[in-house]
């Protein structure tokens, strides 16, 4: 069974030779390769080389073609500040709450910011791994992208003060999300993960999620699958218990769950949805391999009868994680047959 | 729940301001409005915002409504002096996510604390210099990314080094919450801004007795 076959079987709750394991390793790949982060984040070639090296080092089941959460907003004109050891931050937002969102047009992805580089990284990774290792892309979900475009506080206030304008912003963000995800699929990803951490119930009320985000996410996943994505993968963090039960009707086939969501809650709400999680990311930096091994084995035992489980951290593995902790995560999956 | 309390809790700033103007026209004093309406509304929100039920949008909207009410009660230049101690807050260098810190600032200010905000991406030297100059009874730091953990760990030793060992350090935020207070070397690790305020209330009360 190769990595892609293992993932595909896991999504369908079928028998596998062992449970799949995903980092998820994003910028840590640069750290592992000794690359300054800002160089990795601006070069598709460096991203692909570092991700290939990280895969060869750890042997996990999924590789990720992802720079950072500011790629989309940069493509819309945001000014970023790049740093050697951390992800870039937004110096100047792309849009403001006063923007006429109905007049916005999608950028040309062949020229917009770092998107061409990211798509080149996807092509190189797919050329390397073909259909042996899943190559996952990543796009921001509509609400998350809205927050990146005008700032989170502005987005939240806009939703309340000017619902019409907010809807316009969200519609544009949805359009962007779909187009960018499809561009990633065309470039070679097996699926674009939808990263929507800002839509967590810790940020917006459940009714808000149900009213505004749920229908848009549903159309995003529908379009991705129509374009060839092998599954719909939703990545949210924080305490998402109150919205888990919505996921099947959104078209989610894989749902990330964070350390603060107990496995029982996930099993109860998502009977037939594959899940990935949920070791504390910080444990990979400040814990020991023994800590990770213990947490991983508990999770594997927890999900052994249910199946439909991908062992991973609850969110991105920190940039400066200890490699031996990531190896402990992978080893736990390899030893669990 | 009476009108003003409801509008504040619902985060409806326009209705809250309209209601406070009506109360003022009726002759109610600012002190009475704060103690009878605003503080109970914030207490009610605080009780609702447990670890299981915290919602940023609701807290932001209520905070904004309260600030609008306060500006109506106290036009520029007439703001009342803080009734509680001084707290210095910051989001440390490398981290530019400051919503959590801003919410803490709003909640502490509403509750009578004097807050000095060192901003986001704040070098630890700047934080310590501010603390040396202003002598707060507590420091609040918020962190959304794990790269600030080593900086948070340094705060207590730097306070010791500067002969300020009694200043309490309270930490919070998505990344820091994953750690323990022992790992971070802080006095309190807050689940959310209200838990941070409760801790500071307890410390402040203890220091006054």
Q: Mind listing the pLDDT tens digit for each residue in A214-264?
A: 999 999 999 999 999 999 999 999 999 999 999 999 999 999 999 999 999
Tokens of A142: 């509509």
Residue B79, helix vs strand vs coil: coil
| CA atoms of B130 and B167, how far apart (whole Å) | 13
Instruction: With a cut of 80, say whether residue B49 has pLDDT above it.
Output: no
pLDDT at B209: 83
B50 touching chain A per CB within 8 A: no
Contacts 24+ apart (CB under 8 A), A153-157: A153/B60, A153/B99, A153/B102, A154/A93, A154/A96, A154/A97, A155/A198, A156/A203, A156/A204, A156/B56, A156/B57, A156/B60, A156/B61, A157/A97, A157/B60, A157/B61, A157/B64
pTM to 2 decimals?
A: 0.93
Structure confidence by residue, pLDDT tens digits, A120-173:
999 999 999 999 999 999 999 999 999 999 999 999 999 999 999 999 999 999
DSSP E strand boundaries for chain A: 63-64, 79-81, 89-92, 135-140, 191-195, 233-235, 254-257, 274-279, 309-313
Instruction: For residues B69 and B118, state if they share a domain.
Output: no
Digit-coded pLDDT (tens) for B101-111? 999 998 999 88
Q: Which residues does A5 contact at the CB level (< 8 Å), separation at least 6? A: none
B150 CB-contact burial (10 Å; exposed 0-12 / middle 13-18 / buried 19+): middle
Domain count, chain A: 1
Residues of B in contact with A238 (CB under 8 A): 174
Query: Do B53 and B126 share a structural domain?
Result: no
Nearest to B58 by CA among A214, A238, A205: A205
B5 pLDDT higher than 70:
yes
Residue B145 and residue B93 share a domain: yes
Residue range B73-95, pLDDT digits in tens: 999 888 888 999 999 999 999 89
A&B contacts, CB < 8 Å: 63
Q: What is the pLDDT, as a whole number, of residue B52?
A: 62
Nearest Cα neighbor of A172 from A239, A245, A226, A99 is A99
Q: Note whether B55 contacts A204, CB cutoff 8 Å.
A: yes
CATH code for the domain in which residue B53 is found: 1.10.1240
Q: Give residue B48's pLDDT band: very low, low, confident or very high (50, 70, 90).
A: confident
Summarize pLDDT for B126-170 with one digit per residue, the tens. 999 999 999 999 999 999 888 899 999 999 999 999 999 999 999
Give the C-alpha distances (Å, rounded to integers) separating B54 from A200, A204, A242: 11, 9, 12
Please give the pLDDT value at position A215: 98
- B149: in domain: yes
Q: Is B60 exposed, middle or buried (0-12, 13-18, 19+ CB in 10 A)?
A: buried
Q: Residue B194's domain is classified under what CATH number?
A: 3.40.50.280
- Expressed as residue numbers, the domain containing B144 is 86-208
The answer to whether residue B80 is domain-embedded is no
d(CA B69, CA B15): 10
Does residue B165 belong to any structural domain of this protein?
Answer: yes
| Number of domains into which chain B is organized | 2
Report yes or no: A160 and B61 within 8 Å, Cβ to Cβ. Answer: yes
Of B54, B64, B175, the CB nearest to A282: B175
For residues A45 and A123, give the distance between their C-alpha atoms in angstroms, rounded to a whole number.
Answer: 10
Q: Is A227 helix (H, G, I), strand (E, B) or coil?
A: coil
B114: Cβ–Cβ under 8 A, 6 or more apart, which residues? B82, B84, B85, B86, B87
Across the interface, of B64, B96, B149, the residue whose CB is closest to A286 is B149
For residues B105 and B174, membership in a common domain is answered with yes
Residue B147 falls in the annotated catalytic set:
yes
Closest CA to B147 of B80, B97, B188, B81: B97
Average pLDDT of the residues of chain A: 97
Question: Is residue B173 domain-shared with residue B202, that is, in the same domain?
Answer: yes
Domain of residue A117 covers: 3-334
What's residue B50's pLDDT? Answer: 66
Q: Which two tokens stand for residue B36?
A: 């009878």
DSSP for A250-308?
Answer: HT-SEEEE-TTS-HHHHHHH-TTSEEEEEE-TTHHHHS-HHHHHHHHHHHHHHHTTT--
Read off the tokens for A23: 């980092």
- pLDDT at B51 > cutoff 70: no
Query: Is B62 in the same domain as B117?
Result: no
**Tens-place pLDDT, residues A1-22:** 999 999 999 999 999 999 999 9
**Assigned domain for B79 exists:** no
B42, pLDDT greater than 90: no
Per the CB < 8 A criterion, the answer to whether A207 and A199 are in contact is no
| Residue B68 designated active-site | no
The reply to whether B10 belongs to the active site is: no
Q: Quote the tokens at residue A138.
A: 């990543």
Residues 6+ apart with CB under 8 A from B136: B85, B86, B87, B88, B116, B167
B62-97 b/e (C-beta count within 10 Å ≥ 16 → b): bbbbbebbbebbeeeeeeeeeebbebbbbbbbbbbb
Nearest CA in chain B to A282: B178
């Amino acid at each position: 069974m190769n990595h892609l076959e293992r993932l595909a079987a896991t999504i369908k709750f079928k028998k596998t030779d062992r449970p799949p394991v995903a980092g998820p390793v994003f910028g840590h790949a640069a750290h592992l390769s000794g690359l300054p982060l800002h160089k990795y984040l601006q070069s598709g070639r460096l991203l692909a080389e570092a991700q290939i090296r990280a895969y060869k080092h750890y042997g996990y089941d999924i590789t990720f073609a992802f720079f950072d959460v500011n790629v989309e907003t940069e493509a819309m004109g945001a000014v970023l500040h790049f740093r050697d050891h951390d992800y870039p931050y937004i110096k100047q937002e792309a849009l403001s709450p006063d923007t006429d969102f109905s007049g916005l047009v999608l950028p040309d992805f062949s020229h917009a910011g770092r998107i061409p580089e990211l798509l080149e990284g996807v092509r190189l990774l797919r050329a390397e791994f073909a259909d042996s290792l899943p190559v996952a892309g990543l796009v921001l979900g509509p609400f998350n992208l809205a927050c990146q475009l005008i700032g989170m506080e502005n987005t939240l206030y806009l939703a309340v003060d000017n619902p019409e304008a907010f809807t316009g912003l969200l519609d544009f963000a949805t359009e962007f999300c779909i187009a960018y995800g499809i561009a990633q699929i065309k470039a070679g990803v097996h699926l674009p993960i939808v990263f929507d951490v800002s839509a967590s119930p810790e940020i917006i009320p459940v009714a808000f999620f149900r009213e505004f985000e749920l229908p848009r996410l549903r159309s995003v996943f529908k379009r991705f699958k129509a374009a060839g994505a092998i599954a719909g993968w939703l990545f949210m963090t924080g305490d998402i218990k109150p919205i888990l039960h919505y996921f099947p009707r959104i078209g989610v086939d894989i749902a990330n769950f964070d350390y603060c969501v107990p496995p029982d809650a996930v099993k109860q709400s998502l009977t037939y949805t594959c899940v990935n999680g949920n070791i504390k990311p910080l444990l990979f930096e400040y814990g020991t391999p023994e800590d990770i091994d213990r947490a991983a084995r508990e999770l594997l035992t927890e999900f052994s009868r249910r199946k439909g489980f991908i062992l991973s951290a609850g969110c991105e593995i920190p940039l400066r994680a200890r490699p031996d902790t990531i190896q402990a995560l992978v080893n736990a999956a390899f030893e669990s047959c | 729940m009476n009108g003003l309390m409801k509008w504040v809790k619902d985060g409806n700033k326009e209705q809250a301001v309209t209601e406070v103007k009506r109360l003022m026209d009726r002759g109610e004093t600012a002190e009475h409005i704060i103690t009878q309406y605003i503080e109970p509304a914030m207490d009610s929100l605080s009780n609702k915002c447990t670890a299981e039920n915290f919602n940023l949008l609701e807290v932001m909207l209520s905070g904004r409504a309260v600030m609008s009410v306060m500006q109506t009660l106290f036009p520029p230049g007439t703001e009342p002096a803080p009734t509680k101690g001084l707290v210095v807050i910051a989001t440390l260098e490398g981290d530019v996510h400051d919503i959590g810190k801003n919410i803490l600032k709003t909640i502490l200010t509403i509750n009578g604390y004097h807050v000095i905000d060192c901003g986001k991406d704040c070098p630890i030297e700047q934080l310590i210099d501010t603390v040396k100059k202003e002598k707060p009874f507590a420091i609040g730091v918020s962190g959304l990314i794990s790269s600030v953990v080593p900086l948070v760990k340094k705060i207590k030793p730097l306070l010791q080094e500067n002969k300020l060992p009694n200043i309490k350090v309270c930490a919070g935020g998505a990344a820091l919450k994953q750690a323990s207070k022992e790992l971070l070397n802080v006095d309190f690790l807050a689940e959310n801004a209200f838990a941070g305020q409760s801790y500071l209330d307890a410390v402040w009360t203890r220091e006054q007795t």
